[in-house]
Amino acid sequence: MTCEPAEPLRLDYLIRGGAIHPMTGETYHSVGVRGPEIVAVSADADGLDDLAGIGTAVVDAGDLTLLPAFADSHEHLMEASRNTLLVPVDQARSVAEFTGLVADAARAAAPGKWILTSIAWHESNLAENRLPTLAELDAAAPDNPVLARRGGHLAVVNSAALRAAGIGPYTPDPPGGTIGRLPDGSRDGVLEARAVYQVAAFAAGPSRAELATALGTTSAAYAALGVGTIREAMINLDELLAYQDARDRDLLRVRVRPMIRVGSELTEDAAIALIDGLGAGSGFGDDWLRIWGLKLVLDGGAEGAALEQPYASDPGNSGHLDWDPDVLTRVCAEAAGRGWRIGTHAVGDRALRTLLDVYEAVAAQVGPLPPWTLVIEHGMLSDAAQRDRAVRDGFGVTVQHPVLWNMASEMLIGWGPERTRRVAPLDQWLAAGADLAAGTDLVRPFNPMTNVWGMVTRGTKSAGIQGAEHAISVATALELYTMGTARLNHEQDRLGSITPGKLADLVGYPVDPLAADPDDLPELTPAFTMAGGQVTHDPDKRLAK
């Protein structure tokens, strides 16, 4: 009797040479990939040579350092993708440039078609440091409704948009919103909070197919920066379908873990009905597209965060809470009881204190929950007692240095220097024993190495170093940005480190970030990115077979 020899393990990729930092504390010098998975690692560059055969791409990468691909704990890929289909007023540096871009779009559009702008603009980037006026938008687009949303809470529109939305001189403000007026009582085209949605409801946006195509292009831009996974921080159900289209058309170049929005504009019954109607639950999907859970928003950002002490720039204002805490508790308890994971946006210290009360009440009602079930999104302002509560109760925190990097100047005005310096003190959270997962929240492809540099130096875009004492090490920053997010996604057994049996999500850099001067990191970009054994970025064909 003879025995057939076992099928030899033939690698698809054997990558050998440079340092391989698996995020487990060791260093390897070769890694083997077969199908979507890492199947072998070795401390020796030639340690896996026996596993190479015909069809194996042998990659000599002695000049590269390999890391697990980055996993962003909180980013808005859908919004970033949609922005590519919108008028790019975020590139304007003056009101004339802004209205010129709107005018170009209006000339190219059929009369009556809505002109929608990117939401990623701010008047502080315009030379005049003011919003475009209704009259300026009317001149730019006399025959097309224009909706220029700025972030989530403000928009400017033209007269055609007000007409299309049925808003006249006597239309009342919606609850929780304002439709702005000039001193003479006429409309000024500025919409705040709920009024933005009142008008946006009339504006037809990009189609599902257009969004799916844009998700492909934009996800490729993230992959080119070394990203393997994005936890998508807020979508509705139509947008989930666009994600499914993109996945079915094999367009996604990063893994996506969506959070489905449960809006504070809903009544308690409507919120619970929405959750009941979702059908699927947290964890449903596959390795490329898997639902993370629900997303709720408790307060604003730099301009609306619920603070314990008033705004430095406005002593009568301490921000807003978007949910009644008792309603939020009941909605979260219903969701957690059905097995949903919940991430709640809480930026200010008053929002964080309220959210801790809510989550503690939910946990008391529903019983013990696995780690990373009730998640604090941002928690930017915190005190030691709040951090201790989050740790004791097992509520993980997603942290995004790029928000401080981007918004420090606005925070210095609104929150003052003392609070700005202690935004997201990662050292303090870690000293308290917190579960953290790092991400960006910038609504555009952002170099993860700039983020790592920021966590390590507390550097910002235009306001220097803020709170140097809260810096963490490069190794810790990388860990939070790989394994941290894998734990957040309940995928620590499949992603987050270079370990046999895990998915082959790898990124190769021409500099070893663990050995480099941190100031060499912000501009560092990868030579290649791989996700699940598929090459998602390889401009120099380093992985070519």
Residues in touch with Zn ion (CB under 5 A): 233, 441
- Residue 132 is classified by DSSP as P
Residue 446 Cβ vs Zn ion, minimum distance, rounded to whole Å: 13
Residue among 29 and 378 whose Cβ is closer to Zn ion: 378
Residue 74 Cβ vs Zn ion, minimum distance, rounded to whole Å: 6
Contacts (Cβ under 8 Å, ≥6 apart) of 381:
305, 307, 347, 348, 349, 352, 415, 419, 422, 423
Calculate the CA 283 to chain-centre distance: 18
The C-alpha atoms of residue 43 and residue 21 are separated, in whole angstroms, by 11
Residue among 246 and 296 whose Cβ is closer to Zn ion: 296
Residue among 278 and 443 whose Cβ is closer to Zn ion: 443
Residue among 102 and 480 whose Cβ is closer to Zn ion: 480
Contact between 146 and 115 under an 8 Å Cβ cutoff? The reply is yes
Q: Is the dihedral of CA 407, 403, 380, 237 positive or negative?
A: positive
The C-alpha atoms of residue 520 and residue 449 are separated, in whole angstroms, by 9
Residue 297 Cβ vs Zn ion, minimum distance, rounded to whole Å: 9
In terms of Cα–Cα distance, which of 346, 353, 355, 235 is closest to 294?
235
The C-alpha atoms of residue 212 and residue 216 are separated, in whole angstroms, by 6
Residue among 14 and 120 whose Cβ is closer to Zn ion: 120
Number of Cβ within a 10 Å radius of residue 541? 9
Greatest distance between any 2 Cα atoms in the chain: 100
The C-alpha atoms of residue 189 and residue 428 are separated, in whole angstroms, by 44
Residue among 126 and 235 whose Cβ is closer to Zn ion: 235
Residue among 71 and 333 whose Cβ is closer to Zn ion: 71
Residue among 303 and 441 whose Cβ is closer to Zn ion: 441
The C-alpha atoms of residue 246 and residue 216 are separated, in whole angstroms, by 7
Contact between 143 and 197 under an 8 Å Cβ cutoff? The reply is no
The C-alpha atoms of residue 193 and residue 423 are separated, in whole angstroms, by 25
Residue 411 Cβ vs Zn ion, minimum distance, rounded to whole Å: 16
Residue 83 Cβ vs Zn ion, minimum distance, rounded to whole Å: 14
Residue among 81 and 497 whose Cβ is closer to Zn ion: 81
Residue among 188 and 410 whose Cβ is closer to Zn ion: 410
Number of Cβ within a 10 Å radius of residue 54? 5
Residue 295 Cβ vs Zn ion, minimum distance, rounded to whole Å: 8
Residue 119 Cβ vs Zn ion, minimum distance, rounded to whole Å: 12
Residue among 291 and 296 whose Cβ is closer to Zn ion: 296
Residue 76 Cβ vs Zn ion, minimum distance, rounded to whole Å: 6
Residue 427 Cβ vs Zn ion, minimum distance, rounded to whole Å: 23
Residue 240 Cβ vs Zn ion, minimum distance, rounded to whole Å: 17
The neighbouring-strand residues paired with 528 are: 508
DSSP H helices, 37-158, are 77-83, 95-108, 134-140
Residue 459 is which amino acid? G
The C-alpha atoms of residue 17 and residue 29 are separated, in whole angstroms, by 5
The C-alpha atoms of residue 507 and residue 516 are separated, in whole angstroms, by 17
Residue 296 Cβ vs Zn ion, minimum distance, rounded to whole Å: 12
- Residue 83 is classified by DSSP as H
Give the neighbor-by-neighbor strand order of the sheet with 293-297. 259-261, 293-297, 342-346, 374-378, 397-399, 436-438
